[in-house]
Amino acid sequence: MIIDIALPVALAWLGSLFAYSGSLKLIQPAALRIRVIEGYDVLPASAARLVGTLLPHVELAVGALILLTPYGRIGAVAAGALGAAFAIGASAVLARSIHTECGCAGVASGQVRPATLARALLMMFAASAVAIAGSPIPSLVGWPILAAALIPACLTLRRTFVARQSTSPIRSGVSR
Amino acid sequence: MRPFLKVSRRSLIGSLAGATIGVMSFAYPGLARVITNDSRSRAAVPTPAEDKDPTFWSGRVTAKTADHLTVTSAEGTRIVRVAPGPTVWKEFDVSIDAIEIGDSVMAKGEPQADGSLLARPGWVFVNGGQWDGTISALRPGGLTVRRHDGVDRVIAFSSRLQVITAAKQRPVAAGVGALTVGRQIGMVGLGLPDRSLRATRIWIYR
């Protein structure tokens, strides 16, 4: 009974988390994403550039795969692999006492903390459980979850737009 | 039947709300910041939080033009206007052209009516870093400094390096020659992508 509820909840969390995180990363400049990956100091510069460029797209794809398709278990496997990669990165940062942004939520990210590692481990655990015994989320439920997960990115985009508009020469009265 | 534990409705609701926010913040990192920032900027003009110094802003450069930077942090997004000419510190005195997307910026200046910050010339610091510790090794053109918690950082010497005493802030006659293993020092300089620091000022504690 508990499993029947826990597995779809875990799947919905994984899908929404990757959609949320991927969309917030995607709306920040690629150079900033690459800086964040470099801050972990676990990858060579060329690999950090590749990961920083591709990661938001991969996360969004995993989120969509989980929430919108009947291949939720495949998405869970991919989510587990990403969770393992995050766990390794966070462990490496914490073990060396490096203070760096986690990059989990784009510009709203905090520092890498033990909670970052705990979340990555929980992702791995949830993904493993879903991959072994899960069932796909009905698309009627998946679409609203995906839409809700994208709201924070829309709010951030709006705020950046407002900041730029409010300082445009016309609105601020600055003469040039 | 008497209740086992007396809890007021208000404190129960408060506890539940707190627990929900805690769980959501763990499940979706940064969510609280995204939402609270948006509610703060509903006045259409982005302003720093009330408890923050309005004359200061720091964060990452997310966009730039010829005369201003868009600087974003967990606190929000703010436009920082930069005066023309070499008014920016990035190891040397440089212009806004030397600032790149992703650079870390600290700026001090006058808040403008439109919510932006007009930076004072010389008060925009880019990728500035600080480190304190004991010299653990000497290297060609630099050294390694061990912090109190055992973390080492590679330090390179900037071409504009000053070596001074911490007590009187006076230049040390021997310059970098005074930097020997075991010395306790502090420094500021340019933080580099490989986590090393190019020191522009080193002070010797003893």
Convert chain B into a string of H (helix), E (strand) and C (coil). Answer: CCCCCCCCHHHHHHHHHHHHHHHHHHHCCCHHHHHHHHHHHHHCCCCCCCCCCCCEEEEEEEEECCCEEEEEECCEEEEEECCCCCCEEECEEECHHHCCCCCEEEEEEEECCCCCEEEEEEEEEECEEEEEEEEEEEECCEEEEECCCCCEEEEEEEEEEEEEECCCCCECCCHHHHCCCCCEEEEEEEECCCCCEEEEEEEECC
The sign of the CA dihedral A136, A137, A142, A145 is negative
Asked if residue A80 has pLDDT above 90, the reply is yes
Contact B37 A158 (CB under 8 A): no
Whole-number percent of chain B with pLDDT over 90: 50
Residues of B in contact with A32 (CB under 8 A): 60, 62, 101-102
- The greatest distance separating any two alpha carbons of chain B, rounded to the nearest whole angstrom, comes to 84
The answer to whether the pTM exceeds 0.95 is: no
Asked if residue A162 has pLDDT above 80, the reply is no
Q: How confident is the model at residue B121 (pLDDT cuts 50, 70, 90)?
A: very high
Residue B80: which residues within 8 A CB-CB, separation 6 or more? Answer: B57, B68, B69, B70, B71, B105, B107, B109, B116, B117, B119, B124
Give me the pLDDT at residue B149, please: 85
Give me the pLDDT at residue A92, please: 94
CA–CA separation, B80 vs B110, rounded Å?
10
- Chain B contact present for A13, CB below 8 A: yes
CA–CA separation, A57 vs A75, rounded Å?
14
Q: Which amino acid is residue A130, in one-letter code?
A: V
Residue B45 is nearest to which of A17, A32, A166, comparing CB atoms? Answer: A166
Shortest CA gap B2–chain A (Å): 31
Closest listed residue to residue A73, CA positions, set A18, A11, A17: A11
CA–CA separation, A172 vs B112, rounded Å?
9
Question: Under DSSP, is residue A101 helix (H, G, I), strand (E, B) or coil?
Answer: strand
Q: What are phi and psi of B125, to 5 degrees?
A: -110, 125
Most confident of A70-74, B17-21, B186-190: B186-190
Give me the pLDDT at residue A165, please: 60
Tell me what the mean pLDDT of segment B46-50 comes to: 46
Asked if residue B20 has pLDDT above 90, the reply is no
Give me the pLDDT at residue B124, please: 94
Shortest CA gap A99–chain B (Å): 10
Residues of B in contact with A156 (CB under 8 A): 34, 37-38
From residue A5, give the alpha-carbon distance in Å to each of A55, A135, A143, A159, B22. Answer: 30, 11, 19, 37, 21
Residues B165-201 have pLDDT tens digits of: 988 888 998 889 999 999 999 999 999 888 899 999 9
Question: Under DSSP, is residue A80 helix (H, G, I), strand (E, B) or coil?
Answer: helix
Residues A102-112 have pLDDT tens digits of: 989 887 888 89
Mean pLDDT of chain B: 85
Q: How confident is the model at residue B51 (pLDDT cuts 50, 70, 90)?
A: low
Closest listed residue to residue A154, CA positions, set B44, B41, B26, B38: B38
Shortest CA gap A56–chain B (Å): 15
Q: How confident is the model at residue B113 (pLDDT cuts 50, 70, 90)?
A: confident
